[in-house]
Structure 1
Amino acid sequence: MNWLITGGCGFIGRALIARLLDEGAQAVRVLDNLSVGSRADLAQVTDFTEMGDRAGNDNWPDGVTLLEGDILDTQAVTQAVSGADIVVHLAANTGVGPSVEDPMGDCRTNVVGTLNMLEACRHAGTKRFVFASSGAPLGVQTPPLHEEMAPHPASPYGASKLAGEGYCSAYYHCFGVETVVLRFGNVYGEGSGHKQSVVAKFTKQALSGERLEIYGDGTQTRDFIHISDLIDAVIRAATKPGVGGETFQIATAQETTVSEMTKALLAVMKDEGLTEPETYFGPMRDGDVMRNFSDTSKAREKLEWVSQVSLEDGLRRTIRYFVAADTV
């Protein structure tokens, strides 16, 4: 199988590449504009070669190949998709905050960029297209979140991801592209140095001796999923027969308040002999939802997938990674 991973220099992309190589994948191509991840980040996972600028390149050498390009560049997208059996589309504008600050930019990347990818896959005959989404399209709901809920996005990010999901459905039904939508929970873990999500942000701040700001009163809930569990789900979604056109909630089915997560993080830091930081409460952010966790029974049934890593174990792995990275 020839794997194309958009945004492959980022946190999730690098973890996916590492797993694919461990499991014997021979040809992996990365399309990344290097706005977040970098060549140096990718080099920490594996050696790679640079891809030339010849459009329609069907040459897939063994190992990992990097094509520097943007999903808004149709020529780069066409070149990247050519010859791909599986596309895992991770490249995106991520997070509620940036989408509130720049809704138009969020739309261009997450809607037009995704449409560019789907259109290229349609013409290239790509077998499977896995789209990275989140709980944000569902927005304001009474959890647990599940796949049959009517969406009510509470942020431009949620709206743009919902549009991407809609195009995935349309390209499956109209053009036969085997799209699979994965709505990720709050992903954390080793390799998340560039992320600004709460676990990575708090871990970096804590190790730097900074105070931790909890938005609101800390009672908002999230479903925190470790990166290793997420990658298991991505690979199953990319390879399992009979799941084209489906959407799956990919999380732990555990509701955890931000305050509870913070207490667990501080407890692990104490166990690891690290200094516990101070915490304080700040204002709520625009676009944030109060409760968010998922019913993952559909993924268990159709993907034969369940999460395995507990929050405590995942936080411990994350802290040890950041401590080791800081001392290298």
Structure 2
Amino acid sequence: MARVLLTGGCGFIGANLAPMLRARGHEVRILDNLSRGRVEFLDDRAAYEVVQADIRDESAVIAACDGRDAVVHLAAYGSVVESVAEPSENFSINVEGTFKVLNAARQAGVQRVVFASTGGALIGNATPPVNEGALPRPISPYGASKLAGEGYCCAFAEAYGMSVTALRFANVIGPISWHKKGAVTAFFKAIMNGDPIRIYGDGSATRDFLYVEDLCRGIVAGLEAALPRFNVFHLASGRETSVRELAEIACRVGGRPEHPIVHDLKRPGEVERNFATYDLAREQLGFGPSVSIEDAMARTWAWMQEQPR
């Protein structure tokens, strides 16, 4: 059992991860500013200590780290599109915030940190499949901020003898995502509202989609492995899916195979192709996705049908 501080624990991934950590016997304290997350997303509010604070509030983060064995740092400004529109805010949250989380962990004597990074946005327009040896060339402020975060993770691991693991997430699908602004949520909401699905670009851009439970199992594995110094892993599906294909899957699982799909101008900062291998995570963490994109989309659609409109 570890006493874990989970930043961003009331968000999409955090609210899926928290019960999994608890089921593994870990004690979970959550730090979230509730700007987008909600305590209502948690499976059992009484099971968690929730600290409402911003990761840029250094004194609050130091206090939250007190008595913890590990930090899982999920809190972030998570949108490529928003980072292009507001690069200063993206930098403040993702770079300064990550530094303050690492520094607070150091000051509190926490030796184990898991950092939520990203695959496609960090690597940029490299020829897929990419892996941990691919040269990062981010094309958005969001991707650059995650690369900077990994840099600080590596520096803290080496300078202070900490165990820091950066996990490069694929695009995540699953329950508790109604508030998200990604393609899956947008496509499903369009179907539910009777609006055309809108694709930015010609639909040929590709992504790597991973079901949230598979992702969370990878996070737990990274936490429990407690590998020495700095390590980085891709948590991915290994499958390349075009945005057009994603929209067509959304229509099929939504029971509307002929639902209209329209195209708009491509948005800046978004990569053309992206998917990653997870060989290293499989070898060192025992990670492997178990839910196909079709099943992941069907489960997400079923969850969304249960939510109040």
Query: Structure 2 length as normaliser, TM-score?
Result: 0.96
Q: How do 1:39-50 residues align onto structure 2 when only pairs under 5 Å count?
A: 39-42=39-42, 45-48=43-46
Shift of 1:206: 1.4
Could you tell me which amino acid in structure 1 is paired with residue 272 of structure 2? Answer: M
Corresponding residue of 1:209: 194
Could you tell me which amino acid in structure 2 is paired with residue 154 of structure 1? Answer: I
Shift of 1:275: 7.9
Q: How do 1:186-265 residues align onto structure 2 when only pairs under 5 Å count?
A: 186-242=171-227, 244-265=229-250
Report the Cα distance in structure 2 between the residues aligned to 1:269 and 1:37, rounded to whole angstroms: 26
Identity among equivalent positions (%) equals 41
Q: Check the 8 A contact 1:139/1:151 in 2, yes or no.
A: yes
Could you tell me which amino acid in structure 1 is paired with residue 242 of structure 2? Answer: T
Report the Cα distance in structure 1 between the residues aligned to 2:50 and 2:126, rounded to whole angstroms: 40
Q: How do 1:157-176 residues align onto structure 2 when only pairs under 5 Å count?
A: 157-176=142-161
Shift of 1:326: 3.3
- Choose which of 122, 131, 146 in structure 1 pairs with 2:106: 122
Q: Check the 8 A contact 1:237/1:243 in 2, yes or no.
A: no
Q: Secondary structure at the match of 1:117?
A: helix
Q: Check the 8 A contact 1:206/1:276 in 2, yes or no.
A: no
Q: Check the 8 A contact 1:243/1:302 in 2, yes or no.
A: no
Corresponding residue of 1:23: 24
Shift of 1:40: 2.4
Report the Cα distance in structure 2 between the residues aligned to 1:29 and 1:3, rounded to whole angstroms: 6
Q: Check the 8 A contact 1:129/1:238 in 2, yes or no.
A: yes
Corresponding residue of 1:69: 53
Corresponding residue of 2:85: 101
1:188-215 deviation per Cα after TM superposition (whole angstroms, max 9, x unaligned) = 1111111111112211221122211011
Corresponding residue of 1:307: 289
Report the Cα distance in structure 1 between the residues aligned to 2:231 and 2:118, rounded to whole angstroms: 14
Q: Name the CA shift for 1:235/1:243 in 2 (closer, same or farther; >3 Å).
A: farther
Report the Cα distance in structure 2 between the residues aligned to 1:241 and 1:93, rounded to whole angstroms: 26
Report the Cα distance in structure 1 between the residues aligned to 2:97 and 2:177, rounded to whole angstroms: 23
Report the Cα distance in structure 1 between the residues aligned to 2:205 and 2:79, rounded to whole angstroms: 16
- Choose which of 259, 267, 283 in structure 1 pairs with 2:265: 283
Could you tell me which amino acid in structure 1 is paired with residue 142 of structure 2? Answer: Y
**Which range moved further: 110-119 or 235-244?**
235-244
Q: Secondary structure at the match of 2:187?
A: helix
Shift of 1:148: 1.0
Corresponding residue of 1:52: none
Q: Secondary structure at the match of 2:290?
A: coil
Q: Which runs of 5+ in 2 are unaligned?
A: none
Could you tell me which amino acid in structure 2 is paired with residue 248 of structure 1? Answer: F
Q: Name the CA shift for 1:318/1:11 in 2 (closer, same or farther; >3 Å).
A: same
Corresponding residue of 1:33: 33
Q: Secondary structure at the match of 2:254?
A: helix
Query: Structure 1 length as normaliser, TM-score?
Result: 0.91
Q: Check the 8 A contact 2:188/2:254 in 1, yes or no.
A: no
- Choose which of 155, 159, 162 in structure 2 pairs with 1:177: 162
Shift of 1:243: 5.4
Q: Secondary structure at the match of 2:250?
A: helix
Q: How do 1:5-16 residues align onto structure 2 when only pairs under 5 Å count?
A: 5-16=6-17
Could you tell me which amino acid in structure 1 is paired with residue 3 of structure 2? Answer: N
Superposed CA RMSD: 1.4
Report the Cα distance in structure 2 between the residues aligned to 1:97 and 1:240, rounded to whole angstroms: 34
1:19-66 deviation per Cα after TM superposition (whole angstroms, max 9, x unaligned) = 1233333x2111000100122223xx1123xxxxxxxxxxxxxx3100
Report the Cα distance in structure 2 between the residues aligned to 1:268 and 1:275, rounded to whole angstroms: 8
Report the Cα distance in structure 1 between the residues aligned to 2:182 and 2:37, rounded to whole angstroms: 15
Q: Secondary structure at the match of 2:114?
A: strand
Shift of 1:185: 0.4
Could you tell me which amino acid in structure 2 is paired with residue 33 of structure 1? Answer: N
Report the Cα distance in structure 2 between the residues aligned to 1:95 and 1:15, rounded to whole angstroms: 19
Could you tell me which amino acid in structure 1 is paired with residue 163 of structure 2? Answer: E
Shift of 1:244: 4.0
Report the Cα distance in structure 1 between the residues aligned to 2:221 and 2:51, rounded to whole angstroms: 25
Q: Check the 8 A contact 1:250/1:296 in 2, yes or no.
A: yes
Corresponding residue of 1:87: 71
